[in-house]
A = this chain, B = another copy of it.
Amino acid sequence: MKLSTLGEFGLIERLSGVLGSQTDEPLLHGIGDDAAAWRQSPDRLMTATSDSLVEGVHFDLRTTSWRDLGWKALAENLSDIAAMGCEPRYALIGLGLPRETAVADVEALYAGIRECAEAFGCAVVGGDTTEAPLLVLHVTVLGESIPVVGEGEPLLTRAAARPGDVLAVTGPLGASAAGLKLLQSGDASEAPGELLRAHRRPQPRVHAGAILVRAGVRCGIDISDGLLADVGHICERSGVDAEVDLARVPVHPLARTRFGKAAVEMALVGGEDYELVCAGSESALSDASVQLRARGESALTILGSIVKCSGDRPEVRVLQPDGRLWTRTEATGYQHFAKHGLGQAWPGAKGELA
């Protein structure tokens, strides 16, 4: 069987099978969440995440500068650490580069990485450079949890949603997809800078994750594949359904102004927003909102709720104001190796084993 038949998520399941069970103390979470996590010392957990970006698959140097690419490559890994409720500490950068690459371009890439690392308090401590026929980036980030106090793990995981939980998101959605659309249109000169920046220089919510955990929230994920796909990952790993109230989805106002109704779809399935979606009790979410505002960050927006799984398998339902279900004809989210495959710049998807 070829990968194109099996698809990305099928492959991940198979490979997890080959590896077998490897979860024992001090390892807490292996394959299947935004990052792996283990107990580093009695009062501290560590997390690690890793992502590859391949030219022509994940980015297009016609719409992304080397400097922005550096920023974004690190930012999306920082977001995975935030999605575990942890704060980033160290990053390792692997670069595959064609021989004819201009040195100035690689320096620009590294300048972008450095800017992002400094903005979010992470040190680039190593990596490697190697020759490759096309540009390949591989970023690994290590993060640390808030201190462990008493029982339980101070982490956000995909598997911790329970029926009765409220579903919330840390900020507006759809700006990155709108920015990409404008860049792909070929003339972005008149486009709102904020939308372009959302696509080129996403801001991972590195503090929000730890704030959620401190407030008692234990379920979360970052929005890389798209709101519905990522809430879907929570549902699958938690064995629950989610109901999203379409009217509550915080569509980015500039995206709405520019794209009207199409902005709603950008917010639901566009991806690369790098906000966090979380599920927890109303009181925990409200505590977190207070703390977020105190830090000058946007408060949580409630999207809907987690309910018992009603069918054969977990699903996400989007309810329109008139009570009808919102549906999209195309499949939501991006799967690598699938037939639709290549050619989508920054598809906003990663086949994460962790």
Contact = CB atoms under 8 A, between A and B. Distances in A.
Contacts of A38: 89-90, 125
Give the interface size bracket for A toward B.
35 or more
A52 B52 CA distance: 10
Interface stretch (A43-51, A162-170, A178-186, A196-204): A43-51
Interface centre among A49, A90, A138 (most CB of B within 10 A): A138
A130 B353 CA distance: 10
A313 interface: no
B58 A130 contact: yes
A142 interface: yes
A19, A111, A128, A337 — most chain B CB neighbours (10 Å) = A128
A40 interface: yes
A106 interface: yes
Q: Within the oligomer, what is the number of copies of this chain?
A: 2
B36 A129 contact: no
Given A19-B110, A110-B19, A114-B19, A136 B129 contact: no
B27 A125 contact: yes
B128 A3 contact: no
A1 B52 contact: no
A11 B126 CA distance: 14
23 contacts: A2-B100, A2-B103, A3-B100, A3-B103, A4-B99, A12-B129, A15-B107, A19-B110, A27-B123, A29-B125, A31-B124, A50-B127, A50-B128, A52-B96, A54-B130, A54-B133, A96-B136, A125-B354, A128-B353, A129-B351, A132-B136, A133-B133, A138-B138
